[in-house]
Amino acid sequence: MRVAVTGGGGFLGSFLCEALLRRGDAVVCLDNFSTGRPENIAHLWEFPAFEFVHADVSVAADVPGPVDAVAHLASPASPPDYLRLPLQTLAVGSRGTENALELARRDNARFLLASTSEVYGDPLVHPQDEDYWGNVNPIGPRSVYDEAKRYAEAVSLAYRRSLGVDVGIVRIFNTYGPRMRPHDGRVVTSFISQALGGEPLTVHGDGKQTRSFCYVSDLVRGLIAMLDSSESGPFNLGNPEEWTVSDLAQLVLEITGSHSEIQYHPLPTDDPVRRRPVITRAQEHLGWSPEVRVADGVRRTVEWFSHSTRELDLSGFPN
């Protein structure tokens, strides 16, 4: 296939681009590097089938030549980023999604929307399956991301129902791994960066809130399985192994050998208390389940942050 990947210079997007290239697909990567980084894709220029288009997909998603699939990953994803870029986040979730859908419609291509567990908000139902409608504050500070993704899902399925676009939606739960920015505000990389730097680990709230952490190679397998299918979803993609934030902090201290202390700070507004995906539908329809244990994934991520060469362990990615 020839696949257009919006947000291809970001953490997830760059790994998806790489996995597609390694299995023999051609990739057109679109990014404006508002939160992505050129170094994430620098090594992809060795692939003859890799193309890059510097573009803000909120303005236009123009790709010369036909594509067989469009993977729409473009969006700020960490709280500091979408709180710093609220209007841009809303724009890429609305106009950006529409532009990516029009690209797929132009070429009768498969369209994959990377949505998020944030559509469930601070859930009143636990664990969360795809039938849950969520508990989202539509005017809170996090709403710029939550509602952008909820709109993206709505417009994507409207394109499917009204215009016949081959749409598939996945809802991504907390994903981590190499290539994340050290201080992007997400808990795994924050803890690792703080531990390696000898700084206190910052825990917001009492540390009893839970998350479900999925290693990036597992998540990318799920994205590709959805891209290759004709399923509409939405399907949860995440690791149903639930961790408290305090337990994760202790794991990072153990793996890094750090003697950093843990400091507790107030919980941010609308921060969800519990998150754990039900992945039965992804298992049944995509044959997908995560394989990398959290301790192993954190260890790999620590190793990447620890080495200046940052040579990536690509085991687990499609060949």
Which amino acids are annotated catalytic?
145
Q: How far apart, in whole angstroms, are the C-alpha atoms of residue 216 and residue 171?
A: 14
Q: Which residue has the tokens 């057109």?
A: 28
Q: How far apart, in whole angstroms, are the C-alpha atoms of residue 187 and residue 180?
A: 11
Amino acid (1-letter code) at residue 167: V
Closest to 240 in 3D by CA, of 152, 173, 162? 173
In the chain, alpha helices (H) = 11-22, 79-84, 86-91, 97-106, 143-163, 187-196, 216-228, 245-256, 280-286, 294-306
**Integer-rounded Cα radius of gyration of the chain:** 18
Give the helix/strand (H/E) hosting 53.
strand 50-54
Q: How far apart, in whole angstroms, are the C-alpha atoms of residue 236 and residue 63?
A: 29
DSSP 65-125: S--SEEEE--S--SHHHHHHSHHHHHHIIIIIHHHHHHHHHHTT-EEEEEEEGGGGBS-SS
User: How does DSSP classify residue 205?
Assistant: T
Q: Helix count (H) and strand count (E) of the chain?
A: 10, 13
Apex 78 CA angle, 75 and 80, nearest 5:
110
| Cβ neighbour number for residue 10 with a 10 Å cutoff | 29
